[in-house]
Structure 1
Amino acid sequence: MTQAQLGDHREDPTQVQHSGLSSPMWNDENLPNHEFITLKQDEVVIVMVPFPAQGHLNQLLQLSCLISSYGLPVYFVGSATHNRQARIRANALNPSDIAKVHFHDLPTPEFTSPPPDFNALSKFPSHLQPSWDACMLLREPIASFLRDISSKERRVIVVHDPLMSYNVQDTASLSNAESYIFRCISAFTSYTMICSSLKMSVQLEEELLIKLPALEGISTDEARDFSASHHPYMDIRSGDIHNTNKVIEGKFLDLLEQAETNQNKKQWAIGPILPTKLVHISNRNNTCLEWLNKQPPRSVLYISFGTTTSFSDREIKELAMGLEQSKQRFIWVLRDADRGDIFKGEIRKVELPKWFEERVKGVGLVVREWTPQPEILAHSSTGGFMSHCGWNSCIESITMGVPIAAWPMHSDQPMTSFLVTEALKIGLIVREWEKREQLVSASTIENVVRKLMTSKEGDVIRKRAEELGEAVRQSTEKGGASRAELDSFIAHITR
């Protein structure tokens, strides 16, 4: 991917073209309550070790900015290529906040970066496997960095993705270091996966249990083997941090803790970690936001399937026809899945039906570049989100109070779509997981869009989503559940 294709992003993190957002929660005059750590800030350092995929890089960078707002030094450690990716795609973060994070670039291991197979029946991004395998070579440079920094500081706190557990195993050999896993998926998904691995029954009401999707088809054998290779090194951690909170998933956080009783690990549910108060910068210049400014309140459906989904030409045609026939306003982010190295290789030019964009002009907007998703979801004109149900997207949509048309593709997404549509009841399903290899017709898409955006049932769902979003945002304020958990974690690591 060329620099031009990425838009106006810059390499210097202080010059990144962001979504133009800031969070009053992070302003100097209104930082989280951190009086108890001011004397220790030069003694405790935090080292973030993300997994090299966009949804994981994004969350660890958001967490880095949030922790650094307490005055603690944070190092973001990864290959030079993926650190660069994290910086230029930072959404909802101020350049000044990112500038406080120390990016430690490791040499990027060589790996092939094939294009996604958009005609594959399975939507799992197996073309990314070479980049994941290559990250296993980072153990020694990470260990070297940890040894060096631990010799200079009182305590080193390593926060890492579960899929980087092998790479941070040397933390256990350092007397003044401890590690914590950051969970980039919902507590519900973590719980159901633990139940599956331990052959335990999932504790759900009978009417929900019969609708629970099977885990079959969510991954590949190679990806499962990759994940399993990290399991032996997860026990060295001191606890888990979750990008969710008790308002959203209190029941499932409790069930998860019960399922892990034998592990005796501390748990903190500190989400959402993205800024919850989005302040528009007056000179913000973005096509999507300018278009949204001209639309009626809650009238626009935002469509985006993340960075790991590719649609076939036929699937794109059906989606285009369904959107056009629904006669609803929409913003459609039409992008192919990422390659392992987003800076190399040509990007597929996705073809739309002839004259489609001309026919929907004024009603629909098709964009092919990186978009400021959190700000789009927070916009008053946005009334729905058609999503693959990656947890990044869902936690953003939940926080902004936007209902979801759930279309799961792989991995944790079937479980997350179940959480959204059945447990929280803030969305509608587009396509059942059991029918994942069937083409979703234009008429199906049209009907779901109309139901979400114009029906009484859609209005009820939207009201429930807005109420949940308000409760989630309040939980990040002083005295809220999420803020209390975050303060507790900071107090623990700076004890």
Structure 2
Amino acid sequence: MEDQNDNDSHVAVVMVPFPAQGHLNQLLHLSHLVISYDIPVHYAGSAMHNHQAKVRVQGWDSESLTKIKFHDFQIPSYISPPPKPELSFHFPVHLGPLFDIPKHLRKPVSELLEQLSKKYHRVIVVHDCLMASVVQDVEFMTKVESFQFNPISAFYRFLGSWEEIAESDKPFQIDPSVNVPRCIPSDEGTMTPEVSRFFVDQQKFWGIESGRIYNTSRVIEGPYVELLEKLLGNDTENKHFVLGPFNPVEMSGNQKRHTCLEWLDEQNKGSVIYVSFGSTTSLTEEQIGELATGLERSGQKFIWVLRNADKADGFCSKKDRNPELPKGYEERVKGRGLVVHEWGPQLDILAHQSIGGFMSHCGWNSCIESVSMGVPIVAWPMHSDQPRNAILITEVLGIGVMVREWEDRGKLVSSVTIESAVKRLMATKEGAEIRKRASELGDSVRKSVSKGGASSLEMDAFIAHITR
């Protein structure tokens, strides 16, 4: 049976996410936002990764999720190698099979677009910038229009685009003292050569889109959005839509609460630091030991999500060995620290009034969620865009502290260093000022997504543009 939305709308939206958690999650959040305008949304990906996105999404009521039409495409089976944590190189090479998936999705996604174009006046494709090859046939479809989604910060995207242009060819000058903080980390060690080649291959299909979408806010990154618009153009044929944060900033109360939230209910406001390194990072046993000791010695309350990184072929199975803590550790910190050995409800945790800080790898998904909840960050970047996101958080926005510099990424981070970073944020005058700035920025971001706010108006403009 067709949804009432399908009968009323002359436009449909198709989301094509890259199949890694931080990418899946962002476009599923955007799907809910578009659905709220009574526009039908189709979410296209492999059956396995669609399932992953659905069971982990937070903050939306179940009725909203049922309105999204998931297209579960079958892809060839593959074996995912186990994560290999190394001190010198944290890029998740075990996710290598994910970079083969786009070539298997081009045909089924193109067929879906053809089918929908027979039913709707216009079909809007929102595709991850890493899935450009999947939607390349849009160029030859008269009723289909594509928009490139950038799952990264405007800061990171601008710096990368600016650095690609030879000095003699730069179209305008920027003031480094204003626009580019000191000590911008290099991209060295952020990804493998194979992944770099994949990115270049996807860039070959950039340029057919009608605009770019960003999961950020002008309240957070206004100067860098403006620089991007100036550098890449912002006109009727190539518009920039700054629609974030996509994630809900007020959590729905009709979901089953995780038991860790009951523990947080018992803690004082702003007294707990949340520790999580996302879905792709695994730490060595030695590093886990140092982190455990550093948290214990800091004297601060903490909630630590400690689990294996996701495999390329889905969730970690129960037979996978969880990372080990020092013997007797959990009993020793009982009452002051809580260790969660499974997927943690990150948005619920960040939104809880007991949370006063977030030790994070600085993936953009985690950054934007933390900023939107007004939570400052103890930055510990691991790979990809994370080192530069950490600079945005600590140097540009002034809402975090750094655990260690990027050039020291190959060294073991000692318990003393970790203890110092945690205390600096949670137990010093400087930390109090940082927490105050984070709280004020969070307030501004939440106002921007409320009715009449800057991000809300920009979302209205995007909807008006695609339904014109």
TM-score interval (norm. to shorter): over 0.9
Partners of 2:311 and 2:390 in 1: how far apart?
25
Looking at structure 2, the residues matched to 252 and 425 of structure 1 have their Cα atoms a distance apart, in angstroms, of 16
Measure the CA separation in 2 of the matches of 1:190 and 1:203: 17
Distance in 1 (CA, whole Å) between partners of 2:163 and 2:58 is: 34
Alpha-carbon distance, 1:40 to partner: 8.9
Counterpart contact for 1:111–1:134, Cα < 8 Å? no
Q: SS at 1:165's partner residue? A: helix
Report the CA distance between 1:220 and its aligned residue. 0.7
> Alpha carbons of 1:388 and 1:203: their partners in 2 closer, same or farther (altered >3 Å)?
farther
Distance across 1 between alignment mates of 2:40 and 2:6: 13
List per-residue Cα deviations over 1:176-235 (Å, max 9, x = no partner). 110001111110010011112224587531795432111111111000001111112111
Q: How does 1:300-449 map to 2 (within 5 A)?
A: 300-343=272-315, 346-449=319-422
**Amino acid of the residue matched to residue 357 of structure 2?**
G
Which residue is 1:471 aligned to? 444
Deviation at 1:136, TM superposition (A): 1.9
Q: 1:100 maps to what in 2? A: 67
User: Is contact 1:41–1:73 with CA below 8 Å preserved after alignment?
Assistant: no
CA distance in 1, matches of 2:180, 2:424: 22
1:237 counterpart = 2:214: no
For 2:375 and 2:36, the matched residues in 1 are separated by 27
CA distance in 2, matches of 1:262, 1:468: 26
Match of 1:288 in 2: 260
- Aligned pair in 2 of structure 1 residues 207, 442: CA closer, same or farther (>3 Å)? farther
> How many Å apart are 1:275 and its aligned residue?
1.1
User: C-alpha displacement at 1:393, in angstroms?
Assistant: 0.5
**Whole-angstrom distance in 1 between the partners of 2:233 and 2:126:** 22
Taking the aligned partners of 1:357 and 1:132, their CA distance within structure 2 comes to 38
The verdict on how the C-alpha distance between 1:188 and 1:349 changes in structure 2, with shifts beyond 3 A counting, is same
Residue identity opposite 1:291 in structure 2 = W
8 A Cα contact 1:385 1:402, kept in partner = yes
Where does 1:184-223 land on structure 2 (aligned, <5 Å)? 184-199=151-166, 203-205=175-177, 209-223=181-195
TM-superposed CA distance for 1:262, in Å, is: 9.0
The count of residues paired between Structure 1 and Structure 2 equals 457
Q: 1:162 aligns to what?
A: 129
Tell me, yes or no, if the aligned pair for 1:125 and 1:309 is still in contact at 8 Å.
yes
Query: Scaled by the length of structure 2, what TM-score is found?
Result: 0.94
CA deviations over 1:29-85 (Å, ceiling 9, x no partner): xxxxxxxxx999421000000000000000010000110110000000001111111
Distance in 1, Cα, partners of 2:283 & 2:94: 14
Q: Structure 1, unaligned stretches of length 5 or more?
A: 1-37
Return the alpha-carbon distance in structure 1 between the equivalents of residues 78 and 218 of structure 2.
Answer: 40
Give 1:341's aligned amino acid: D
CA distance in 2, matches of 1:178, 1:314: 50
Name structure 2 gaps, 5 residues minimum.
none
Q: Using the alignment, how far apart are the partners of 1:370 and 1:286 within structure 2? A: 10
Q: Is the 8 A contact 1:81 1:108 kept in 2?
A: no
**1:110 positional shift:** 2.2
TM-score under structure 1 length normalisation: 0.89
The residue aligned with 1:174 is 141
1:137-156 Cα deviation digits (max 9, x unpaired): 21111111111111111100
SS at match of 1:230: helix
Q: Is the 8 A contact 2:87 2:411 kept in 1?
A: no
Of the three residues 204, 220, 223, the one matched with 1:251 is 223
| Counterpart AA for 1:370 | W
* 1:343–1:371 CA distance, 2 compared to 1 (3 A): closer
> Deviation per CA, 1:117-149, whole angstroms, max 9, x where unpaired?
023621001111112213322111111111111
From the superposition, tell whether residues 115 and 39 of structure 1 become closer, same or farther in structure 2 (CA, over 3 Å): closer
Query: 2:113 is matched by which residue type in structure 1?
Result: L
Task: Provide the C-alpha distance between the structure 1 equivalents of 2:103 and 2:157, rounded to a whole number of angstroms.
Answer: 23
Distance 1:217 1:203 in 2: 27
Other structure's SS at 1:240 match: strand
C-alpha change, 1:313 and 1:327, in structure 2 (3 Å) is same
C-alpha distance in structure 2 between counterparts of 1:275 and 1:214, whole Å: 33
Tell me how large the CA RMSD over aligned residues is: 1.8
- Is the deviation greater in 430-439 or in 417-426? 430-439
Pair 1:262–1:492, CA change in 2 (3 A): closer
